[in-house]
Amino acid sequence: MTTRSKTTAAALAATGLLLAACGSGSGQAGTPSFEGRGPITYVAGKDTTGTVQPMLDRWNKAHPKEKVTFIQLPTDADAQRQQMIQNAETKSDAYTVLSLDAVWTSEFAAHRWIDRLPEERFPLEKMLKPVVETSRYRGDLYAVPGSSDGGMLYYRTDLLKKAGVSEPPATWAALKSACAKVKKLPEAKNMSCYAGQFQKYEGLTVNFAEAVHSAGGQVTDASGRPNVDTPQARKGLDFLTGSFKDGTIPEQAVTYQEEDGRQAFQAGKLIFLRNWPYVYSLAQKSAIKGKFAVAPLPGLDGPGSSSLGGHNMAVSSSAENKATALDFIKFMTSEENTRTLLRDASAAPPYASLYDDRALVEKYPYLPVLKESILRAVPRPRVVQYGDVTSAVQQEAYAALTGEKSSAQALKDLQKTLRKAVAR
Amino acid sequence: MTEIPPEADARPAVQRPVERGRATAGAGRLAALLVSPALLVLTIVVLYPTLMALKESLYGPKGLDPETGFISATEPFVGLRNYAEIFGEAGARFWNAFWNTTFFTVVTVGLETVIGVAMALIMHQAFRGRALVRAGILVPWAVPTAISGLLWRWVFNSDGVANALLGRQILWTTEGFHAKVAVIVAEVWKTAPFIGLLVLAGLQMIPKEVYEAARMDGAGPARRFWHITLPLVKPALLVAVLFRCMDALRMFDLPYILVGAQKHSVETLSMLTQNEASNVRFGPASAYAVILFLYVFLIALAFVRLLGTDLVGGAGAAGGRRRGGLFRRREATA
């Protein structure tokens, strides 16, 4: 490997040529040339909704010489990342187009596992800005948004109305006072107020970042440096720890992942729930059908900001037939196909226009709220060592939530660990 | 493996003119021929990966170039630093994982042995519906660990069966000693039948006459158990315990699925290794894997040498078992 990178460097210096095709990528030397046409593969997590294959069939019909094969990885995001890394580390050409979780972009770009993409080839200006940001590394485009996701506040319309609360809460204080009013109702006697995802896993990083951002703080600044030991961040974390202490969040919520919270909400145990859009259609089929609605996440002084989810498409740097890959990404991330993904798999599209489409809004009444949520969203830390950063966040936030440490101490320790992790 | 160079042995033997020598040479050549595929496979699947892991453990993680924002293409050679760091500041997580692994092994194997022997004694009794009881006891062993992890996560859920039975809310899957208890319960449930099965096989080898004679001599059930059953079933039991120890030392999926990754109260050495590797630090990950390998190897060696576990089984259960195991193993492979 050493000799190869040496020769690469020598060749670069001597001739100034872009050695994009040699597999290891040329990094700082500009956009690689996307050459070669022929069969490619599309690699993503298991498609449980059955929407992807029909899309590929349409592409294959139109491009008989550039057939795309669908490689389905496990549903578990960690397992997907691991397999993609293995493929990249062995410089295999088995994977061409990768569907990356939005938080992996920096890591994959920094390792040169994926190629820098030509921006002018994609209609990025039509997409929501925070979503496009998740596909950049150091200002350069390394992926194209295929779908997005934002957190929303689910709430019980029937109970709020009965308690005389006319509007969903926009601030944490309003949320607590609405709860106090609802709790006075006889039917809400055994209910808890609010829950999110607080088990020690990626969901906690999402919820912690939301609390910090919604209070005006930040986890890492624009250039990726940790900046979490601030009074604002502390107010955010204090909202969570305080809510656990005063019972706003039920004690068992510290074990909740997405599904636990959804089940509790559907079983009528929660008045408010922070969750992703996928919950909407499932809750419509449950006992609380027609009794709930969504609102943007509340914050300290006004509406809060969500963390972003979603998937971006990138080209594996060790792949072949990259010209086809680029066309295929364009096809998959087209407005038409993301509309299909929204319709059949309820994946949030990256395009702004789809959120205002009347037919779609009629079918998915949460779309306007979701758009607002995404527009106000802040991505999770965009750092190369995301794995270390997220485990540090989980470690310290969890210690604060379970009362093992004070918020101040947890944030101080987190700042220290993050600084070490990012410097690595 | 190294002490048996089959070809080297066989060739000079062929040239010996003595007839008897030729016969042994022929047998030796045949033996070498028959064994060599196995040796080849072992070299590929065991020796090569072990040596690669050893080599990899001498390299550090790739660094990030702050100028370009790219990770360097090569891993720096750091010698034994990955091992040395275990004793430094970064060692806290390693030692936590090490003690968790040891704790789980000692406690679960201890409980499994007691419960497994009890199960075997029950299965060995003649009573109506014995086949059903045997099948019932063996079901947990048949369930894949990952599935039983999911199953027990459901049991230990905040609204789960465990809390309903106990009548109070324990958040099992959070950090703390209760998380360890959850793992131990699930692990013992799953693997006690394995010990039960092996011990049952041992029990069925004991002739009935021994018990009859003991009863004639006036030995009660407790005495019969201590002085007849246990010593006679010991070879089978020791093999079972050894297998369980080696299995428990590399425990990964049960705590990972039941309680979760990154949980310090249940993180084992395997989980730590996996975590390092998934963060693209293959050097430290290999170092942890090598240490785990040595740990398992030492435990296995201790079993064979101190307790005289008969790994190959069969001949000579009585006498000279102390070192017999090892020697017989060599004979068997040669």
pLDDT in tens, chain B (334 residues): 444 444 444 444 444 444 555 567 788 899 999 999 999 999 999 899 999 999 999 999 888 888 888 988 888 999 999 999 888 877 899 999 999 999 999 999 999 999 999 999 988 887 788 888 888 888 999 999 999 999 999 999 998 999 999 998 999 999 999 999 999 999 999 999 999 999 999 999 999 999 999 999 999 999 999 999 999 999 899 999 999 999 999 999 999 999 998 899 999 999 999 999 988 899 999 999 999 999 999 999 988 887 776 555 544 444 444 443 333 443 443 3
CB < 8 Å to B73, chain A: 1-2, 4-5, 24
CB contact under 8 A, A110 and B71: yes
Structure tokens at B278: 């998934």
Contact A271, A182 (CB under 8 A): yes
Q: CA nearest B64 in A: which residue?
A: A424
Q: Do A200 and B262 touch (CB under 8 A)?
A: yes
Find the residue in A nearest to B168 (Cα).
A252
pLDDT in tens, A277-319: 999 989 999 999 999 999 999 999 999 999 999 999 999 999 9
- B70 and A201: CB-CB below 8 Å? no
CA-based nearest residue in chain B for residue A4: B73
CA distance A323 to A334: 17
- Asked if the Cβ–Cβ distance from A200 to B279 is below 8 Å, we say no
* DSSP conformation letters of B22-43: HHHHHHHHHHHHHHHHHHHHHI
**Alpha-helical regions (H) of chain B:** 6-15, 19-42, 48-56, 81-84, 91-124, 130-142, 145-155, 161-166, 177-205, 208-216, 221-224, 230-249, 253-258, 269-278, 282-302, 321-333
Residue ranges of A 360-389 with Cβ closer than 8 A to chain B: 384-385, 387-388
Do B175 and A112 lie within an 8 Å CB cutoff? Answer: no
What SS3 class is residue B315? Answer: coil
Matching residue, tokens 């000692």: B106
State the CB neighbour count (10 A cutoff) for residue A118: 14
User: What chain B residue is nearest to A9 in terms of C-alpha separation?
Assistant: B73
C-alpha atoms less than 13 angstroms from C-alpha of B214 in its C-beta half-sphere: 16
Contact between A375 and A351 (Cβ < 8 Å):
no
pLDDT in tens, B192-204: 999 999 999 999 9
> Measured between alpha carbons, how far is A93 from A96 in angstroms, rounded to an integer?
7
Interface test with A, best of B175, B282, B286 (most A CBs within 10 A): B175
The sign of the dihedral angle between the CA atoms of B253, B259, B263, B268 is negative
A395 interaction partners in chain B (CB closer than 8 Å): 262
- Asked whether the beta carbons of A271 and A263 are under 8 A apart, the reply is no
Nearest to A384 among B64, B261, B262 (CB): B64
Query: Residue A159 pLDDT more than 60?
Result: yes
Q: Out of B61, B70, B279, name the one closest to residue A112 (CB).
A: B70
Whether the Cβ atoms of residue B60 and residue B82 lie closer than 8 Å to each other: yes
pLDDT at A34 over 80: yes
| Neighbour tally for A316: CB within 10 Å | 26
Signed CA dihedral, B171, B172, B175, B181: sign only: positive
Q: Provide the terminal-to-terminal Cα distance of chain A, rounded to the nearest Å.
A: 22
Judged by a CB distance cut-off of 8 A, whether residue B68 touches chain A is yes
Partner residue facing B73 (CB), from A24, A78, A138: A24
Contact B70 A391 (CB under 8 A): no
DSSP letter assigned to residue A199? S
Q: Environment class of residue B199 by beta-carbon count within 10 Å: exposed (0-12), middle (13-18) or buried (19+)?
A: buried
pTM of the model: 0.85
Task: Please give, rounded to a whole number of angstroms, the shortest distance from the CA of A44 to a CA of chain B.
Answer: 18
Contact B278 A384 (CB under 8 A): no
Assembly ipTM = 0.83
Q: Which amino acid, A134?
A: T
What strands, in cross-sheet order, belong to the sheet with A270-275? Answer: A192-195, A270-275, A152-156, A292-295
- Is A68 strand, coil or helix? strand
pLDDT 10s digits, B250-287: 999 999 999 998 899 999 999 999 999 988 899 999 99
Q: Give the SS3 label for residue A335.
A: helix
How far is residue B282 CA from its own chain's centroid?
Answer: 24
